[in-house]
Structure 1
């Protein structure tokens, strides 16, 4: 039997969902309905959301009319390129399997730790704006190119 591994929502995601609930002044019924909607009817509590369900719900609460969707897609593509580059750099994430979701989470954590210490803006990827992401991408690209030349 081939089951897809789903990761639970992070504590940070759940906290953000609760803050957004308060900011939007959602009553309990509306809030529970949203959770059921994003979980496909599986649950009515944020504690049981998956990471992807929580991400989708947060996106909707942050941008209800979808006006920032294009900018978010652009940022997401850049974050994906940053992650792929990190998997080419020894001492960071190379040569790990990027298809295993658990290992991918560990790789993201290592990347964020590295960025806090050595990154241009000293922030994890999730907290960077588009310009900072571009600077991070350039930094990792230069490092990956340097390693390729040394090989």
Structure 2
């Protein structure tokens, strides 16, 4: 499992995740990174990883009935199945590749995040769509 600090630029984790993709592996990402009842903005790393390796396919998934579970518990359920009392629902959408880039990189990443977020929201009840908050990742100071 690759753990990264979603509030900073974790280049080592990003490189490790990219190597997984380059070798044909798969990643399960939670770009919303919050266990709340609404889907808010996604962190941009999901789009950056999908864009940085040729041939990467995105498989969107939405989880309902799980706001009482931690991300760690959701991962366990995805890998091993739920316990009787948990009862979350996971819906997978069709896989897709990001369309060819046509904008400057920052704008393209924002467009890609919107596309990925929409593909997840399409799998969930309409009342789960929250405000699309734009996440800003803090870059470490040079020399620190």
User: Normalising by structure 2, what TM-score?
Assistant: 0.28
Of the two, which has the highest radius of gyration?
A: 1
- Structure having the larger proportion of residues in strand: 2
